[in-house]
Amino acid sequence: MNSKFNFQEYDRKVYEYILDNIPDAITIIDKNYKTMFFNKTAEEYYEVSREEIIGKDLRDFFPNSLLPKVIDSETPYHNIYNSPRENSYTVISAVPLYNKDDELIGGLARDRDITEYVKLSELVKKAQINLEQLEREYSKVALGESYFSNILSSNTAFIKTINLCKNIAKTPINVLLYGESGTGKELFAKAIHYESGRKGNFVAINCSAIPVELFESELFGYEYGAFTGAKKEGKSGKFEEANGGTLFLDEIGDMPINLQPKLLRALEEGSVTRVGGNKQKKLDIRIVSATNRNIKRLIKEGKFRKDLYYRLDTFQVNLLPLRNRKEDIILLANRFLQQYCMENGINIIQIPQNILNILKNYSWEGNVRELRNVIQRAVILARENNKNQIEKEHLPTYLQNIIINKQKYVDNDIQLNTEIGLESTIEEIEKQIIKEALEKTNFKKTDTAKLLKIPRTTLYYKIEKYGLKNRND
C-alpha cells in the first residue's frame, strides 16, 4: 500500500468503485479517527453499514482497532493479527496517509477476515485433532505455499539451506541433518517429507530414548505371543507405520552401539520381520536422520558403526545455530508473537525496541526453541498484567540481567553501513565483539568461548574467518 494518498486527486466515484471491488475490508479514517470510507466488503465482514459508521469515531464501533494506533504513532503495520471486536478476527495491514505536503491526514487499513480459521482452530483443539495436520492443510490449501514457507529466515546462508532441502525433498535419497538442539531439525525433516509428495506418514522416533529390551518391538512390531502381555492382534512397529512415507530417526548419534546392527539390517534389506514372526514385509521408506553429535568422532571412538553412517549420510545438511544468524532473531520473535496471540485469541502484544535489543544480544544456546519459549512466556505474563506490550519484567531473569552484563552492546546506536549492506554490517559488529573478547582474555580460546557463550569450534571458525589470530600463535 502506498502511504501517500491525496483524495483530491481522484474522482470520489472512481476510487470508491475500485476499493469496493477489493475482496478485503478497507477502512479510511481522518487524523481525528472519524471514518471517511468503509467499503462493501467491510460492511459484510462486520455487519455495519456505511450510513452507520461514516463520519463517526471508529473507536465507537471497533474499540481495539489498529488504525487509531497508526494515527497516534504514525507507524505502519503489516500482517498483524487483530481482534477489532468480540468474536471477530482479522489479519490487518494499516498505514498512515499523508497529503502532498507530507502532513498526516488519516490512515488506511486493509483487513483480511480469518474468523472462520480461528473458530476452526478452537474446534480442532477441543476435538484434539493433530495440529500439525491443520497447519499442513492450511499451508497447502489456503495459502498455496510449500511447507518450507513455515521456515523463516533472512540469513543468506540459511536461506540457501532451505532451498537446498526443498530441491532434494522430491528425491528418494536419505538425508542426515546436523545441528544443535533447538535449531529446527524436526521442522526440516517434516518439511522434506511433506514437500516430497510421499503418501505415507511422517513417523518420528527418538533413538536415544528407546530401551534396549523394547528396541525391536518398537521399531519392527510384534506378533501375538511374542512375549507376555503382547496384544492378540499384534502390533505394527515404526517402520511399518512409515511405509510409503518418511521415518525420522532423531538423535541418531545417541543410539547405543549394540542396537545399531539391527537398524542397519532393516535399512539394507528394505524389509522388517515382526518379533515372534517369520514373515518379512517389504517396505518403501524415506529415511531422514538428525543429530547434534560429531558422528565421525563417534566412529573413531567405536561408538557408531561406519557402515550405518554411510547408509544414513547420503546427503548431509548443516543447520546454523541462531547465534550465527542474528538477523533472524527479531523476525522469529515477531512470528512467534503473532502465532501465539492468534492461536490463543489474544489481541496483539507488541515487542518494544529495548526488548528487541535484549533478544538480539543474547547467545540463545537453546536456539529457536528457547526463543519461542521466551516469547510465549512473556506474552502470558504481559496479558496477566494487562499490558499491551512485553516489558523487561516479563522476561526470564537471565535475560533481564543481560542489560547489565552487556550494556554497551545493548545500548550502542548501531547504524547500517549502506555501502556494504546488512549482512556485512552484522559481520563487522560480530568481528569487533570477538576481537574485544579475545583481548580481554589474552587470547585464551577456552576462556573467550565461555565469555561469548559459544562452542570453541565456532570460535575457532570465527577467528579464522575474521583473521583475528594472535601474532604469537
- Per the model's pLDDT, the better-predicted residue between 175 and 221 turns out to be 175
> Which range has the top average pLDDT, 6-15, 195-204, 232-241, 455-464?
195-204
Q: What is the mean pLDDT of residues 7-30?
A: 77
Q: What is the mean pLDDT of residues 219-233?
A: 66
Alpha-carbon gap, residue 327 to 431, rounded angstroms: 15
Top CATH class, 421-466: mainly alpha
Residues 37-73: pLDDT tens digits?
999 988 888 888 999 999 999 988 888 788 888 898 8
The CATH fold assigned to 322-411 is Helicase, Ruva Protein; domain 3 (1.10.8)
Indicate the domain borders of the chain: 7-113, 146-318, 322-411, 421-466
**Domain 7-113: CATH architecture, name and number where available:** 2-Layer Sandwich (3.30)
Residues 399-443: pLDDT tens digits?
887 743 444 444 444 555 555 566 666 777 888 888 888 888 888
Alpha-carbon gap, residue 275 to 230, rounded angstroms: 10
Q: What is the pLDDT of residue 2?
A: 47
Top CATH class, 146-318: alpha beta
Q: What is the pLDDT of residue 333?
A: 92
Q: What is the pLDDT of residue 471?
A: 53
The overall longest dimension of the chain from CA atoms, in Å, is 85
Q: What is the mean pLDDT of residues 364-373?
A: 93
Helices 353-360, 327-343: inter-axial angle, 10-degree rounding: 120
CA distances in angstroms from 218 to 30, 235, 240, listed in the order given: 65, 9, 10
- Other CB atoms within a 10 A radius of the CB of residue 158 amount to 21
